[in-house]
Structure formats: structure tokens, C-alpha cells
């Protein structure tokens, strides 16, 4: 990582509060802590990044994350580059935060990290509408809202409520919308048990789904490889990618499991360069991919959306606008007709906005 001279680093935590509890197979989320990272030169120009590990999922989710990040800022300020670079290997969210902040600084500190037709000409990015786990009624309510917003690709979280109830929701959707009219993805977040995972995949395949993310927990490579080979429903690896940082580890995962798809979350993988390493390895093996955000604030989401637009992937991406939170920051991102768009005239936040929200 090339560091411009005379930059100083500092960080502070920010608690994001969900508008309503967000259900996953790993539990219900009410809030999330992200650490905001500021790089500043002697003239006051700043680069802004976000370090936002996910509790129970991120490779670097640990109680002393904030303390470690503050120490990393000290190493940065004292030019202890050997220790700094070594530390980043074990903290993907921090590596992403520094990469984001440096990119912002180098590009002029305007929160315009990547130029593309998305940021300069208003070109839309197709995205999926996310349906959170909950009661059958709650999930149906979300589906109605997303369809009214023009989404033609929905991603449903599965694995938390009764499986038959989830099948009934999918059946109702398919009775109204064909696979040509509405693309359906599901995400199990590793919720299926090894002994009935294949049976569940066979049941789900009846509804002409696009794919399922992470049907079983990560770390069961042989079983996951078997499921990828035998499942009538294409499998996308998500959590399986986390913690594999070297090219050798990346290639081993892809060679052993041979998934049809992989899901890229820069916060969990260590940033843009790390994600691009996964992309290159996947494409060399004929494996397709798309990008998904990981509950970042609008700071991280803005950076991820801009980067994703430069990749020219035609599949719907797993991005949003940060509308899940009651206290998110102003953003140039908005949704229209089921696509993510960027409004340059809507000035992004600066550090003053952040401090006002603490």
C-alpha cells in the first residue's frame, strides 16, 4: 500500500441503528458499530474510510477491534510500516477502510473514488431487492414493497422460519411471476444441516431460482464441493471466502469446491484489490460472481457502489442505499425502478456531517 507523505490517521466509532430488527439465520440485529477512519494532510485535505466488521461473521470480529484500529492509526502516524502492513493482513475490515480512505484522499477528498458512467452520467446499476427474515407475513409485506419499487430481482433470506412456510412464499411468488419476469435468489447464510441440505436444495429448485448463497456453514469444503456437484440449484459461495487472503488459499477454495458463483464483499475480504484477486481467479475458472455490500453505512456503500460500476458485471448486484438505518449519513445514492443510481448534485457527506451525527 503506497502511502502519501505527511498524512495522519485517526478513527472513531459510530453506532448505526436499524429502523426495524434485521433477521438473519445467525440472529436478529438491532444496531451495528462501524469505525470511521480519517486520513488528513497538513493542509486539511481528508480521505474518509469505513471499517465495519460484522459481528459473528467477519474474520476480524473481536472485542478489541477498536483498540487494534487505534493502535494501527498510531503505527501509521509513526511510519511503522512493517508492523502496519503485517497488521492489515489479519484485519480485512481495517485494510478496506485504509484502502478506501487513501483512494478518497488521492482522488481529491471529494468522496468520488471511481469515475464511471454511473457517477458521471447517471447510468443505473441493476441490484436485487433484499427480503429480510421474519414471519411469513413480514416477508410478504417486504416483497410487496420491493415489487412496487420496480425490482425484478429479489433475494430472500431463508433458514430462520419454518422451511415449509418459506417454500409456500416462493410458491406464491412463482404462481404470480415467472422466472422470466422475476429473478429469485435465496441466501441461507449456512443455515442448512449437512444431513438434509441436498433435499432442501432439491425442494427449492422446483421454483426456478437463480441461485442459493451458502447453504451450509463455511469450513466443510468436501461437503460443499459435493453439494455444488449434485445440487439442481446453483450454489454461490459467500462466507466460504472469508479468511482466505493469499492467492494460494483463494485458488484452493475455488479448485476444491468448484462453485457456479461467488459473492464478493470487500469489507469481509480485505478491500477492492483483494476482491479483484478473487474475481481474476474465478473468471479464469469460468466461475461467475457479483458484489454485495455488508451493512456498511453510506460511506462504505458509496465507495463499494462506485467501484462495482467500474467492473461492468451485467448481473444484478447486492447493493442498497443504506435505508436500513435511522441515523445513516446523507448519500448521493438512490433507487429508481429497481436500480441503484448516483446523483452527483446531491453533495456527499464530509467530516463535519459525521461529527454532527455522533
Residue-range domain boundaries for the chain: 7-106, 117-353
pTM of the predicted model, to two decimals? 0.92
Look at residue 219 in the predicted model and tell me its pLDDT: 94
- Residue-level pLDDT at 256: 98
Dihedral of CA 231/234/239/242: which sign?
positive
Per-block mean pLDDT, blocks of 10 residues, the chain (358 long): 80 92 69 94 94 86 93 93 85 96 94 94 94 82 90 90 90 91 94 96 97 96 98 97 94 98 97 97 98 94 97 94 86 91 65 46
Long-range contacts from 108-114, C-beta under 8 angstroms, 24+ separation: 108/45, 109/45, 109/46, 109/47, 109/48, 110/348, 111/48, 111/299, 111/302, 111/303, 111/348, 111/349, 111/350, 112/306, 113/302, 113/303, 113/306, 113/307, 114/306, 114/307, 114/309, 114/310
pLDDT of res. 195: 95
- 117-353 in CATH: which number? 3.20.20.120
Q: Which residue is catalytic, options 32, 146, 155, 157?
A: 157
Return the C-alpha torsion angle 155, 163, 241, 263, nearest 10: -10
d(CA 95, CA 74): 15
Please indicate whether residue 19 is annotated as part of the active site. no
CATH superfamily placement of domain 7-106:
Enolase-like, N-terminal domain (3.30.390.10)
265 among known catalytic residues: yes
Position 61 scores a pLDDT of 86
Active-site pick, 32, 146, 217, 265: 265
Amino acid at each position: 500500500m503506497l502511502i502519501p507523505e505527511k498524512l495522519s490517521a485517526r478513527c472513531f466509532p459510530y453506532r448505526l441503528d436499524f429502523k426495524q430488527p434485521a433477521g438473519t439465520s445467525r440472529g436478529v440485529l438491532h444496531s451495528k458499530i462501524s469505525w470511521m477512519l480519517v486520513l488528513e494532510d497538513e493542509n486539511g485535505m481528508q480521505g474518509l474510510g469505513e471499517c465495519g466488521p460484522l459481528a459473528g461473521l467477519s474474520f476480524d470480529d473481536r472485542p478489541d477491534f477498536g483498540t487494534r484500529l487505534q493502535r494501527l492509526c498510531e503505527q501509521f502516524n509513526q511510519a511503522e510500516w512493517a508492523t502496519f502492513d503485517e497488521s492489515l493482513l489479519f484485519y480485512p475490515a481495517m485494510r478496506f477502510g485504509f484502502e478506501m480512505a487513501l483512494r478518497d484522499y488521492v482522488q481529491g477528498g471529494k468522496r468520488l473514488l471511481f469515475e464511471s458512467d454511473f457517477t458521471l452520467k447517471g447510468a443505473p446499476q441493476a441490484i436485487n431487492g433484499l427480503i429480510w427474515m421474519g414471519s411469513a407475513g413480514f416477508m410478504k409485506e417486504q416483497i410487496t414493497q420491493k415489487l412496487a419499487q420496480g425490482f425484478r430481482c429479489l433475494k430472500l433470506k431463508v433458514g430462520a422460519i419454518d422451511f415449509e412456510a418459506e417454500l409456500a412464499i416462493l410458491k406464491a411468488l412463482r404462481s404470480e411471476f415467472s422466472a422470466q419476469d422475476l429473478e429469485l435468489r435465496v441466501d441461507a447464510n449456512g443455515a442448512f444441516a449437512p444431513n438434509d441440505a441436498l433435499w432442501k436444495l432439491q425442494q427449492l429448485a422446483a421454483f426456478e431460482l437463480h441461485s442459493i448463497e451458502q447453504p451450509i456453514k463455511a469450513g466443510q469444503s468436501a461437503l460443499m464441493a459435493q453439494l455444488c456437484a449434485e445440487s439442481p440449484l446453483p450454489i454461490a459461495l459467500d462466507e466460504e471466502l472469508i479468511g482466505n487472503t493469499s492467492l494460494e488459499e483463494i485458488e484452493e477454495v475455488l479448485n476444491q469446491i468448484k462453485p457456479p458463483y461467488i459473492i464478493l464483499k470487500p469489507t469481509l475480504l480485505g478491500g477492492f484489490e483483494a476482491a479483484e484477486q478473487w474475481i481474476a481467479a474465478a473468471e479464469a475458472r469460468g466461475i461467475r460472481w457479483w458484489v454485495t455490500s455488508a451493512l456498511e453505512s453510506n460511506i462504505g456503500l458509496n465507495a463499494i457502489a462506485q467501484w462495482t460500476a467500474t467492473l461492468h458485471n451485467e448481473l444484478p448486484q447486492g447493493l442498497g442505499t443504506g435505508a436500513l438505518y435511522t441515523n445513516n449519513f446523507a448519500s448521493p445514492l438512490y433507487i429508481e425502478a429497481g436500480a441503484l443510481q448516483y446523483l452527483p448534485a446531491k453533495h456527499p457527506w464530509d467530516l463535519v456531517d459525521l461529527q454532527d451525527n455522533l
